[in-house]
Structure 1
Amino acid sequence: MQKLDWIDWLVLIITLLTIVGYGTWKTRGSKNVQDYVRGGNTSKWWTIGLSVMATQASAITFLSTTGQAFSDGMGFVQFYFGLPIAMVIICLVFIPLYHRLKVYTAYEFLENRFDLKTRSLTAILFLVQRGLAAGITIFAPAIILSVVLGWNIITLNIIIGVLVIIYTVSGGTKAVTVTQKQQMFVIFAGMLAALFIILNLIPKDVSFTSALDIAGASGRMEVLDFSFDLENRYTVWTGLIGGTFLMLSYFGTDQSQVQRYLSGKSMKEMQMGLIFNGLLKVPMQFFILLVGVMVFVFYQFNQAPLNFIDASTETVLASQYSEDYKQLQLKQNNVFEKKKELSIALSKNENDGKLKKELFYLDSIEKNNRLESKYLIKRAIDTAYANKYDQLSLELSKLNKDNDLYSGKKAELTELYKASAKDTKTNDRDYMFITFILRYLPKGLIGLLLAVILSAAMSSTASEVNALATITSIDLYSRNLKEEKDEAHMVKATKFFTLIWGLVAIVIACFANLAENLIQLVNIIGSIFYGNVLGIFLLAFFFKFVKANAVFTAAIITQVIVIIGWWFDWMPYLWLNLFGCILVMLIAFVTQLSSPNKTS
């Protein structure tokens, strides 16, 4: 467990309370839906651009992306190659249409083009996937901070969620947009400071160029992969094709993003805001990955733990696998000493191909050591649970069902079984950056970097909760009312739904579970739904002969098939966006052409 210094607490608390207080004060008193949902259409292009970036840049971005770079290098940046292309298409097609129709949500257009049931289905698909994602954006920093700092995860989930609810309920879209400017400033300042400190912690005689060479020798600087291997998740082609479809869906049809640019002062401001995002986002992700790579270089000169989760290491060292783990630690220590020696030699002779090959070989050994450590930790955890389970089972078998202790022991056994299924504290890449921050960064800066992580969590969650409430209020509640309600009623209803979705996000966070990699989990959830939704919008934009019933039927069939495809791992998840988009369009075409009634 790490203890924060008083100055870190001060920096953290002041930063978060300033953001929440400013957002609440600046946007108090929205009296109509136009102000509450579209921010009064007052946002300038740079505000839109920063707000769009802040919505996408959750805490997962900083914790998981840096861990991804530490483990696998810079290749993940290819995931974002389709984003600039998507921004141009959205500026040319989506924004002019939304602006002309003066819609509050992206799904209003679908009712105009098709019918109410298609609008409602698409809105519900959004609510399902974005509701899950909202919980994960709270859970991601909470689970990591709880393990590293020893804080209670439920308490952390509630703190993050409540802070978001306070200003989002108060000010709606404008509150989200206003606070995201401050949050992005904190995020940029914190990450720049972190990179500066990391470079200063690397030995003085190792230049930045040498550091890049050391990272490159271990395969961490391989940015571009032009292969067509479908087993490889991140290539130029998955980024340009799968990434473009994912970004088109996310920025063009996901209300959490659409609502950000619909608050623009004019169509030109909306378009410039998205172009700003398109130009800055890829360099920003490259920079975040570079921070992770520089942490990797730092650990070539400073001993890194076999596993970055202290609790997991303590568990295995207290188990019957303790000696095996200690032997693995000794083996890793030897690898580290050799890597340190080679890294120093390479920094003095950057073009030595033999040294680079040796470093690459040692890095592969280190990766194997880390995999073996995770295996031993998992064995230790499983054995500990199995022993407890066997003991409880034995006690239960000795009790009569009428015994008062029986029901209690049975409930305890059930909870133990659930806990053993959930306990996956072996994959530590998401913990790497926060562990580095707490162990090596100076006092004060630790508080700022924790504020970065929590600010990012708050900004993404606020956008998502705001969008979920808007969709619920306008696309479902308002549209299905038998009598029209006044502006004051609709503002109160939207605030109520904001509160409800905020609480739902907290509950989902409390029941969430750690996946292989958090940033991948968020994108997987999106990829399952986004392709289908994008296909519906493309049918609405470009294929006038396709009518409502054909689209509605195609959307339901497609969603079932995509979920099955994901479950049985038919393809890398990024390709699900293209697959879902094409599938819904093909099924809609066939259904429409084979329909006896071509007009419905």
Structure 2
Amino acid sequence: MQLIDWLVLLGTLAFIVIYGIYKTRKKQGAEDYIRGGNDTRWWTIGLSTMATQASAITFLSTPGQAFHDGMGFVQFYFGLPLAMVVVCMFFIHIYKRLNVYTAYQYLESRFDRKTRTLTAFLFLVQRGLAAGLTIFAPAIILSAVLGWNLSGLTILIGSLVIIYTVAGGTKAVNVTHKQQMAVILTGMFAAFFIILSYLPENISFNNALEIAGASGKMDILDFSLDFENRYTVWSGIIGGGFLALSYFGTDQSQVQRYLGGRSVRESRKGMIMNGLLKVPLQFFILLVGVMVFVFYQFNNAPLNFNPAATQTVLNSDYQNQYEDLMLKHERLQQRKQNLHLEFAEANNFSSENNSTYRQNLSSLNASEQILRKKARTLIDASDKEAESNDKDYIFIHFILNNLPRGLIGLLLAVILSAAMSSTASELNALSSTTTIDLYKRSRKTEKPDEHYVKASKWFTLLWGAIAIAFASVANLFDNLIQLVNIIGSIFYGNVLGIFLLAFFIKFVNSNSVFVAAIITQIIIIILFEFDIMPYLWLNLVGCLLVITLALFLELFLKTPSHKIKESS
């Protein structure tokens, strides 16, 4: 990185932090600090919702996911627009009518205190883990690629978020999200068009898509009913839809984004905006990853994109074997490049020639996969602690080695801005839930607003420290964006089922729901542990299971019903 990259990176991050503190510098009561007031406009809600979901993991892992597996991951989001419709029809209206600070307040008014506490606890567990992961993901990857100190980078990211989240609460999170999304979109569009400009002169965008398609990267829709396929149209609409419904309807990090809307109409418009733009945004980010794949069809790519792992094996007893694989990989890449250029120059897009091209390319791709697998085996043999899975390193490798100076700083700012935006929402939601659903609810005497604002600030600091501590001991998974969704899928279905029981099945009472929720959570963890089904389906199974168990238990556990009231 050169001086201009540092200036762009540090200037962008400093502006976001200072802007968030400046916009919320006035003294705030609990209404403003915890809920964000009641004056947020729909476009702020929409952008804040998108920024909360679009963590650094999205911009590090998603292009790598597309590079390896193609565009099929976009099916994961197919259920999101439908979920937004349900959230707008039911959840927003109920939350705004009851004037709650958190989603879980409603559960005490519908059921009882223990059900509210259990659901809040499930949220705190899964979102607390996710908060640490959103800090850890960019920290470990940037430290490996740039050589920065991992612990120092983790503390830096976490501290920047804590500063303006503690200072301004929910309002600071909302107002900074707009600037962060502007940085994110500018950086990603710039990267996309620069990739296209780097392709050979006779390779058009259509040619690039053809090359990607010949390697199976443009296989978007999978209508199969095979349970072994993790991402299909059906798993996306059903499993992904239940995950999105639970996330946007019951997860406080998202609920808090629209609780402060100026009106029910403003909140609904913000969530519809998210529903309309989220799938195209994810499609575009995946397409960036596919274009990175095409770029490396004409430029030398490393055998493994993790530089730290490569350095480890080259300094081990396996150096000669690895260098031999690198040489074979270089020759194979040259053959692939020649094949692509010959195909493009001859403009051979007829079905017959296309078939021959695809067969030849398929053979070369298979050979490359064998070389990459052997490379990972050598890395693992050289050091068991080395990270041989390089999916999450692909996009950052491309940024640092191929983008012009200045834009490198902007793309790094994109990654860190995304980390800050998502983590800020999570810490804000964790502190709000802890303050309102646990701390305030456990106090026997009422305290003034200022007391709970101060408590929320301390809980933000506490959760920030916990997230930094978890980030410091976490390890990379197969793919970080999948890990985030796996963590959510273990808990979300159960929580969503509890809310659906509260909304629509009025004769089921608290004891039945409480026992059913505990049993369901145990079963879901067992299903995940033994890998019985793809993780997306855990959302549907968890939701249906808690509802079914609660209905069954209601036949044996009779609890007094009570009317819905506003809880503290």
Q: TM-score range by the shorter chain?
A: over 0.9
The match for 1:486 is 448
The aligned runs of 1:86-101 (5 Å cut-off) are 86-101=83-98
2:527 paired with 1:577: no
The match for 1:590 is 552
Three-state SS of the structure 2 residue aligned to 1:376 is helix
The match for 2:253 is 256
Residue 293 (structure 2) aligned to one of 285, 293, 296: 296
Residue 236 (structure 1) aligned to one of 228, 233, 237: 233
Shift of 1:311: 1.9
Q: Deviations over 1:168-204 (max 9, x none)?
A: 0011111000000000000000000000111111111
Structure 1's unaligned 5+ residue stretches are: 383-422
Residue 536 (structure 1) aligned to one of 484, 498, 501: 498
Aligned 8 A contact 1:31 1:487 in 2:
no
Aligned 8 A contact 2:510 2:559 in 1:
no
Query: CA–CA distance in 1 between the matches of 2:93 and 2:228?
Result: 38
2:518 paired with 1:556: yes
The match for 2:104 is 107
Structure 2's unaligned 5+ residue stretches are: 563-568
Residue 448 (structure 1) aligned to one of 410, 414, 439: 410
The match for 2:349 is 350
Query: CA–CA distance in 2 between the matches of 1:187 and 1:5?
Result: 21
Residue 212 (structure 1) aligned to one of 209, 213, 217: 209
The match for 1:377 is 379
Shift of 1:317: 2.0
The aligned runs of 1:163-312 (5 Å cut-off) are 163-312=160-309
Query: CA–CA distance in 2 between the matches of 1:235 and 1:66?
Result: 19
The match for 1:148 is 145
* AA of the residue aligned to 2:392: D
Aligned 8 A contact 1:528 1:566 in 2:
yes
* AA of the residue aligned to 1:366: E
2:357 paired with 1:364: no
Query: CA–CA distance in 1 between the matches of 2:220 and 2:129?
Result: 31
The match for 1:45 is 42
C-alpha RMSD of the superposition: 1.1
The match for 2:435 is 473
2:525 paired with 1:523: no
Shift of 1:350: 3.0
Query: CA–CA distance in 2 between the matches of 1:163 and 1:424?
Result: 29
Shift of 1:51: 0.2
Shift of 1:424: 4.2
Q: Deviations over 1:289-345 (max 9, x none)?
A: 000000000000001000011221122122222222222222212221111011112
The match for 1:117 is 114
2:275 paired with 1:313: no
Q: Deviations over 1:471-514 (max 9, x none)?
A: 00001101110100001111111111111111111111111111
Shift of 1:115: 0.1
The match for 2:390 is 428
Aligned 8 A contact 2:33 2:453 in 1:
yes
Aligned 8 A contact 1:210 1:346 in 2:
no
* AA of the residue aligned to 2:545: L
The match for 2:565 is none
Q: Deviations over 1:369-404 (max 9, x none)?
A: 11111111101114xxxxxxxxxxxxxxxxxxxxxx
Three-state SS of the structure 1 residue aligned to 2:37 is helix
Query: CA–CA distance in 2 between the matches of 1:13 and 1:299?
Result: 30
Give structure 1 regions of 4+ aligned residues with deviation exceeding 6 angstroms: none
Task: Calculate percent identity across the aligned residue pairs.
Answer: 64
The match for 1:511 is 473
Query: CA–CA distance in 1 between the matches of 2:83 and 2:252?
Result: 16
Three-state SS of the structure 2 residue aligned to 1:491 is helix
* AA of the residue aligned to 1:349: N
Aligned 8 A contact 2:379 2:386 in 1:
no
Residue 335 (structure 1) aligned to one of 309, 326, 332: 332
Shift of 1:366: 1.3
Residue 162 (structure 1) aligned to one of 159, 163, 166: 159
2:508 paired with 1:546: yes
Aligned 8 A contact 1:12 1:450 in 2:
yes
* AA of the residue aligned to 2:503: F
Three-state SS of the structure 2 residue aligned to 1:278 is helix
Query: CA–CA distance in 1 between the matches of 2:58 and 2:517?
Result: 31
Residue 60 (structure 1) aligned to one of 33, 57, 61: 57
Q: Deviations over 1:77-103 (max 9, x none)?
A: 000000000000100011111111111
Shift of 1:441: 0.3
Normalised by the length of structure 1, the TM-score is: 0.92
Three-state SS of the structure 2 residue aligned to 1:479 is helix
Three-state SS of the structure 1 residue aligned to 2:532 is coil
* AA of the residue aligned to 1:375: T
Aligned 8 A contact 1:210 1:350 in 2:
no
* AA of the residue aligned to 1:443: R
Query: CA–CA distance in 2 between the matches of 1:5 and 1:292?
Result: 25
Query: CA–CA distance in 2 between the matches of 1:82 and 1:60?
Result: 21
Residue 425 (structure 2) aligned to one of 463, 472, 480: 463
Three-state SS of the structure 2 residue aligned to 1:594 is coil
* AA of the residue aligned to 2:477: A
Residue 530 (structure 2) aligned to one of 568, 579, 600: 568
